[in-house]
């Protein structure tokens, strides 16, 4: 049994808890929270909820700790800190700061003899893996990544900060024509506007000016100005009824050529269509937690990413079973 700990019990932490239930070789050891543990109700009957301040007491009772904090401020501190005590997995997703985060976590994990896996999930994560594999197979080619249809938390937050907006949700939607152009192997150069559209569902505050809100959204630099954006005004009830989910997904496509004169075209495409972004991320994390436990048992230490983990480590099956049934 792989004993899993969860630090942070939001959408991601709950997702990890659900994923543990689907993996018979894993068990939830404890959930750690900054809140009063008495106030946190978890789904797993009989599971311990503890204060994160007491996490060191669990040093020998947890095989892999999943750190479910945010990338902006939590993980840069938490992952190096907890890697001194535990094998850890995080989902750090600030692409530009990955090298720095890797270095910090690697130093901590190596000093403690622990294995740390950072930036696990689907992007970074499965999308990264597919970029790497496709680049290695087709050295002469071009990469495309599309996201959606899915909820962007950052863009939804940006809408909600506009005066007159009571609530709102934003979907990022890949442009079908752009996807088709890429799949055709024509290697299009695509602008930001050509790749994705943005669709917003907005609940106005009483008496707010709809036209002004719509204009504020559509002209917002970085977030919306470079996109074709649609704004729908709906009621709070409609928002709750039709837009409560956190779907996401996307497409990683590499097109390339082979042959002595590059005469043959190829398209490699990986896509995800996810009802729940955090639960899928959690499911990837659970599989990699198994890998971390195996690597730690082999005496490995230091920081890893999905690039460093042989696929067989993710599976509960033996090598013989994998070769017989999946190869």
Residue 259 to residue 196: CA distance in whole angstroms: 33
How open is the CA angle 86-87-91, to the nearest 5 degrees?
115
Per-residue contact track with a second copy, 201 to 230, x per CB under 8 A? ------------------------------
CB atoms < 10 A from the CB of 113, how many?
A: 12
Instruction: Name the DSSP letter for residue 313.
Output: G
132 vs 297, which CB is nearer to a second copy?
132
By CB under 8 A, tell whether 79 contacts a second copy: no
Instruction: Name the DSSP letter for residue 95.
Output: G
By CB under 8 A, tell whether 46 contacts a second copy: no
Residues belonging to the chain: 327
Q: Which of 10, 13, 50, 65 is nearest to 288 (CA)?
A: 65
Q: Which of 96, 98, 69, 73 is nearest to 88 (CA)?
A: 69
Which H helix or E strand runs over 258? strand 248-258
By CB under 8 A, tell whether 241 contacts a second copy: no
Instruction: Name the DSSP letter for residue 42.
Output: P
Are 66 and 284 spatial neighbours (Cβ–Cβ below 8 Å)? no
Among 34, 142, 183, 193, binds a second copy (CB under 8 A): 183
Q: Which residues, 248 to 267, sit near a second copy by CB under 8 A?
A: 258-260, 264-267
Q: Which residues, 87 to 146, sit near a second copy by CB under 8 A?
A: 95, 98-99, 102, 119, 124, 126, 128-133, 135-140
Among 283, 292, 294, 301, binds a second copy (CB under 8 A): 283
By CB under 8 A, tell whether 47 contacts a second copy: no
Residue 152 to residue 162: CA distance in whole angstroms: 16
Q: Which stretch binds a second copy (CB under 8 A): 16-24, 33-41, 149-157, 169-177?
A: 16-24
Q: How far is the CB of 292 from a second copy (least distance, A)?
A: 13
Among 173, 271, 296, 300, binds a second copy (CB under 8 A): 271
Site for a second copy, rule CB under 8 A:
15, 17-19, 21-23, 43, 95, 98-99, 102, 119, 124, 126, 128-133, 135-140, 183, 258-260, 264-276, 279-280, 282-284, 287, 290, 305-312, 314-315, 319-320, 322-324, 326-327
């Amino acid at each position: 049994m792989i004993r899993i700990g969860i630090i942070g019990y939001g959408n991601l932490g709950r997702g990890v808890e659900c994923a543990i239930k689907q993996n018979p070789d894993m068990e939830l050891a404890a959930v750690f929270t900054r809140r009063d543990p008495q106030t946190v109700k978890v789904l797993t009957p009989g599971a311990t909820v503890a204060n994160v301040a007491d996490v060191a007491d669990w040093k020998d009772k947890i095989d892999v700790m999943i750190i479910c904090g945010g990338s902006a401020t939590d993980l840069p501190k938490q992952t190096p800190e907890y890697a001194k005590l535990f094998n850890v997995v995080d989902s750090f997703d600030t692409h530009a700061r990955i090298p720095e985060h890797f270095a910090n976590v690697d130093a901590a994990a190596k000093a403690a003899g622990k294995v740390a896996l950072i930036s696990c999930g689907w992007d970074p994560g499965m999308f990264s893996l597919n970029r790497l594999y496709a680049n290695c197979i087709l050295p002469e080619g071009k990469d495309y990544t599309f996201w959606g249809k899915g909820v962007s938390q950052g863009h939804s937050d940006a809408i909600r900060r506009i005066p007159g907006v009571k609530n709102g949700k934003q979907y990022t939607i890949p442009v079908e024509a752009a996807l088709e152009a890429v799949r055709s192997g024509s290697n299009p150069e695509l602008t930001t506007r050509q790749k994705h559209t943005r669709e917003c569902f907005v609940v106005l505050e009483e008496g707010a000016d709809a036209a002004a809100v719509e204009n504020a959204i559509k002209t917002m630099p970085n977030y919306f100005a470079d996109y074709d954006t649609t704004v729908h005004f709906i009621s709070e009830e409609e928002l709750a009824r039709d837009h409560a989910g956190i779907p996401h997904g996307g497409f990683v496509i590499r097109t390339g050529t082979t042959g002595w004169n590059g005469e043959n075209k190829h398209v490699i495409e990986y896509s995800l269509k996810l009802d729940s972004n955090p639960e899928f991320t959690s499911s990837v994390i659970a599989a990699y937690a198994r890998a971390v436990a195996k690597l730690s048992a082999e005496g490995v230490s230091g920081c890893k990413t999905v690039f460093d983990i042989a696929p067989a480590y993710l599976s509960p099956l033996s090598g013989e079973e994998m070769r017989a049934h999946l190869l």
